[in-house]
Amino acid sequence: MNHDAQDLPGALPLEKASPSLIVEALKAVAGHPPGVRASFAKGHCVRGRYEPSAEAGSVTRSKSLTRPAQVLGRFSVGGGNPHVADTNGLVLRGFSVRLSNEASSNFLFENAPVHFARTLDQMLAFLRARIPGPDGKPDAERVKAFSEANPETLNQARFVAARALPASFALTTYWGVHSFPATSETGATRFIKFKIVPAGGNATFSEAEIPGLGADFLRDDLEARIQAGNVRFDVIAILDRPGDDCSDVTKRWSDEDERPGVVLGRITIDALEPNGTCDASVFDPAGLAEGIGHPPDEIFAARSPAYRISLSKRS
């Protein structure tokens, strides 16, 4: 029997991947639910404020990060299924943020420090390997073969699977998986990675506690913590070192967790916002105030057009 190269287990697609094909594949993996985001479909819109630290200017001259700003945010659960249970510990938690003053910047964070694909072609092949068949399940052998041929695509899943179920959006650490060129107030430029650390520390549930949780417990917890004034995060810049790979989003920098970070400021979430406020547009990652540049990897370059294609499909 003859096979096209793109149909062989572990192979990358023959056709060049594009943002539109990525969105199509994300929707297919989720079963084409109508009117929702292609990824992180389940979410909750919030409002708050950002206060910069005195040290922010040593890293970036971005007005979004060096001056007080209003925050529009969205906490979310990964995947394209808007009804995914919050008890599913194998999908990501996300936190999208727009900081607005005289400038505006959008930042995208998730509770894993790496992405699941290095290139757009690899991302498309990863997703296509997981599109469900007639039985509603992906072909396990195809997924296994692709993973064996592309082992770096498991880095994200392994990171998430090794950790207990997050107990709260407000008590979870988030990362920006990309390396951003940041220019300081003195004009010096270096790469940074973002890390968002909850002021109250991290909290998780044990396996024994999960059966007693509701499918939407994260929203209930979020509402209670906002009312109590307990949703605060430090925005931290992890600084690069010579030799760091700034283009491969499937890899972490060496000793990344041990490096001293610079606290740029604090985000405080004050209120839940109607989801329509966040759903009317996208948190376009290309929208960054001067002082934070675009990362050099091709996954980031595809995000902005992919988000806009996804918005057009759900509008």
Q: Which domains does the chain have, with CATH numbers?
A: 5-314 (2.40.180.10)
99-140 pLDDT, tens per residue?
Answer: 999 999 999 999 999 999 999 999 999 999 999 999 999 999
CA angle 125, 294, 76 (to 5 degrees): 60
pLDDT average, residue stretch 169-193: 98
The CA distances from residue 274 to 44, 73, 107, 160, 169, in Å, are: 8, 11, 20, 29, 17
231-280 pLDDT, tens per residue?
Answer: 999 999 999 999 999 999 999 999 999 998 999 999 999 999 999 999 99
pLDDT average, residue stretch 283-297: 97
3-state DSSP assignment of residue 191: strand
Whether residue 53 contacts residue 104, with contact meaning beta carbons closer than 8 Å, is answered with no
Could you tell me which residues are annotated as the binding site?
307
Whether residue 64 contacts residue 289, with contact meaning beta carbons closer than 8 Å, is answered with yes
Report the C-alpha gap between 177 and 179 in whole angstroms. Answer: 7
pLDDT at 260: 87
Could you tell me which residues are annotated as the binding site for heme?
307
Say how many CA atoms lie within 13 Å of 150 toward its Cβ.
Answer: 26
Whether residue 19 contacts residue 27, with contact meaning beta carbons closer than 8 Å, is answered with no
pLDDT at 15: 76
